[in-house]
Amino acid sequence: MKTPGYMIASVAALVVVGLLSACMPQQAQWRGTATMKRNTVEFIRLTHDVTFKDGAAALGDDQAKSVDAFFARIDARYGDEISVDAGDGPEAAARRAAIIARATALGLKVTRETPVYGPALSTDGARIIVGRYVVTPPACPDWRKPAGADWENTPSSNFGCASQTNLGLMVAQPRDLLYGRDYGGPDTEMMAKAVKDYRDGKAKKLKKEKTQKKSGGSK
């Protein structure tokens, strides 16, 4: 029995379509520009209000503990832009100095600038403002690009994931990812404090981690 001509033509057309689809470059499904990985840096502010009792200018025990707890809660660190807004009352300078002294005792640096941020202060209030740059690594791993032959030689969708993620996780000051800064010389005050803390036994000790012993194998 002979096969009708129209069936032969249909089969031939399907074979041609299959061959063409197999040879279709991956570029039709994936665009290399989508592989560019980058860290996202954002600026946030964290605040803490301090209330001075009965017009006092010094920190009481309760206020000092609240300041310490705030810095511990936000994990105040290198790179934070810490400032103090104590208003413009007669005790403003003394209150600001008291909070700065407390922060300095914790090894933190306070900037001279006093940004106006948040609701208006009360007559007996002061506000600690911590500006922080936060880095968010790219969404990785990224295996969206199909595996297989790539006749256009476009980059892998996962290209750059390791480099950018590692950079975002290890950078000490995320602000440096946005723009550089001029070298202002060593911070001798901070260096001297680090040496003093080490000599006084106040330096943080390295965490001890248990290692697992390999089991099995020939002796």
Task: Give the C-alpha distances (Å, rounded to integers) separating 20 from 6, 134, 153, 154.
Answer: 21, 48, 19, 20
Task: Give the C-alpha distances (Å, rounded to integers) separating 33 from 43, 155, 159, 190.
Answer: 27, 9, 11, 44
Q: Which of the listed CATH numbers 3.20.10.10, 3.40.30.10, 3.30.1330.60, 3.30.70.270 matches domain 43-134? A: 3.30.1330.60
pLDDT, tens only, 53-64: 777 888 888 889
Categorise residue 203: left if φ over 0, alpha if ψ from -120 to 50, beta otherwise.
beta
Query: How much is the pLDDT for 155?
Result: 82
pLDDT, tens only, 91-150: 888 999 999 999 998 888 898 887 778 777 878 889 999 999 999 999 898 888 887 888
Please say whether the beta carbons of 83 and 114 come within 8 A: yes
pTM over 0.85: no
Domains in the chain: boundaries: 43-134
Query: How much is the pLDDT for 99?
Result: 92
- Residue 72 above 50 pLDDT? yes
pLDDT, tens only, 144-192: 888 788 887 888 888 889 999 999 999 988 999 988 878 878 878 878 8
Distance of CA 76 to the CA centre of its chain: 13
